[in-house]
Structure 1
């Protein structure tokens, strides 16, 4: 069972820490545990309770009414809202709950329903990625455990692979050739997989090399295919001070291709970018390039 601070609850639910304290004191609606130094801590059940309260409040329920509900009544109302409403914040809340409970059936229902209504690409952009961003800090701090992280990541990865397979062999004769890879040691693949889908959906050809690719193997594949674009996402590897030398190495080694860069270690950093390279700050940048 995970342990959360009041700041973790604030980040996941959107309910301010000050408000959570008021609920505790005025309505006894949530009862945190206390450390030896009197710091509030919360468990998975507390987090689910706060997420459910947040959803009910967003749909017009007053906190005084919610405080009188049993846990079972609250859950029934939340399920009704989740099944009825199809707006992005509600679905992100529902995904968070499915992650906490490791509930694959609930995850599948949420994602499949949204794909039917909004389409795969919009579901990824407006629901899945905001959800991943919301819980990303908690993964780093350890508030969300490896089991929960792996559970969600693998389910999303499966959805991406199925969607990519649906775009196989659809490239147009005038489409561009993209080579996608992650630097050696880099394992955060979801961004790269979604980029694969986005590029293929615009009828371009993709050579997908995947995670943790040694530089010499990239050079081998490059010489074989001579792509128009090289695309990589740098999230954790190389580390901050090694990113510029790595980018410089790519530019020198592959001057005939245009280098597309994204990821935490690139976006918003002081990286010097030559003329044959572009930073992809948001998915719309990649959509624009892939649509040319």
Structure 2
């Protein structure tokens, strides 16, 4: 019997263990069975369990990973690179230990509030998570996973509206916190998105997580022309320019970034998943890679500004 038909063994597993057959996973995620098998066999991105007769069964964690894979693919990250991104996320979850359960409960409560379009409920959850977690965890482990899942699951009725509701809420709260933190710092950094490679919320969250007591970060708007960044830096005179991208720069874009770095009066750095994926290709160039994790980016930025981190 093939995987598309009904099978009592699969149905029993679904009921007893919360495991889903491939046909159900395909329906839930929009990814066809052929692609799911290729992601498993060729790239090792998903490792479903197997019944005695060889049928694949997927857990909810597998489904969440599939949705994250879709999100990174939509951002232009190649499927061969997605594995390293997922691995880092899983490693951080293991390090967090007992906190993971709390994060999952908060995520579920956020999803329920979003489904009800409950602004007061989201406000309460936002304050609750901030009071109980450090800044990096608030976004990386609680709010952004929900935001990512909704972003790639907009095929169903109402899902686009739910994502827009959460996106608007988070942009407003993050922007408000950036305004509260907008006081004189000993060092200033500009954060510029590379065209079409990130959402405004991701840029705002990165601005918030990169900042510290002595480093102020100002995000530039989406659509900022790359060729005019030298002019912006000349007038604002930042201590550093951080470029943000989820995609590793192409050979042509790398040449443009190197030319930009040569005319800037301040150092230039790359942050986001693009930085994680481009470390080898940018080695020896004038562009330093900060990485994609909040605490790591913040530490590397401080080290670079102190002259303790080479490009």
Q: Give the C-alpha shift of residue 196 in structure 1.
A: 1.7
Q: Give the C-alpha shift of residue 38 in structure 1.
A: 9.9
| Residues in 2 aligned to 1:104 and 1:154: alpha-carbon distance in whole angstroms | 11
1:279 corresponds to which of 275, 279, 289: 289
Q: Give the C-alpha shift of residue 257 in structure 1.
A: 3.1
| Residues in 2 aligned to 1:208 and 1:41: alpha-carbon distance in whole angstroms | 39
Q: Give the C-alpha shift of residue 277 in structure 1.
A: 1.8
1:214 corresponds to which of 201, 225, 234: 225
Superposed CA RMSD in Å reads: 3.9
Compared CA separation, residues 166 and 39, structure 1 to 2 (3 A): closer
Q: Which runs of 5+ in 1 are unaligned?
A: 1-17, 30-36, 43-49, 52-84
Determine helix, strand or coil for the equivalent of 1:102.
coil
Partner of 2:178: 164
Q: Give the C-alpha shift of residue 120 in structure 1.
A: 4.2
| Residues in 1 aligned to 2:224 and 2:125: alpha-carbon distance in whole angstroms | 34
Compared CA separation, residues 135 and 263, structure 1 to 2 (3 A): farther
Q: Give the C-alpha shift of residue 266 in structure 1.
A: 4.7
TM-score between the two structures when normalised by the length of structure 2: 0.58
1:261 corresponds to which of 254, 270, 280: 270
Q: How many residues align?
A: 222
State how 1:99-178 maps to structure 2 within 5 Å: 99-139=114-154, 142=155, 145-171=159-185, 175-178=186-189
The answer to which of 273-282 and 105-114 deviates more is 273-282
Determine helix, strand or coil for the equivalent of 1:232.
strand
Q: Which runs of 5+ in 2 are unaligned?
A: 1-7, 29-58, 61-99, 304-311
After superposition, the C-alpha distances for 1:126-148 in whole angstroms (9 at most, x for unaligned) are 31233334445435xx3583222
Compared CA separation, residues 39 and 129, structure 1 to 2 (3 A): closer
Q: Does 1:199 align with 2:210?
A: yes
| Residues in 1 aligned to 2:27 and 2:267: alpha-carbon distance in whole angstroms | 49
Q: Give the C-alpha shift of residue 107 in structure 1.
A: 1.7
Partner of 2:55: none
Compared CA separation, residues 211 and 291, structure 1 to 2 (3 A): same
| Misfit runs of 4+, over 6 Å | 37-40
Compared CA separation, residues 178 and 147, structure 1 to 2 (3 A): same
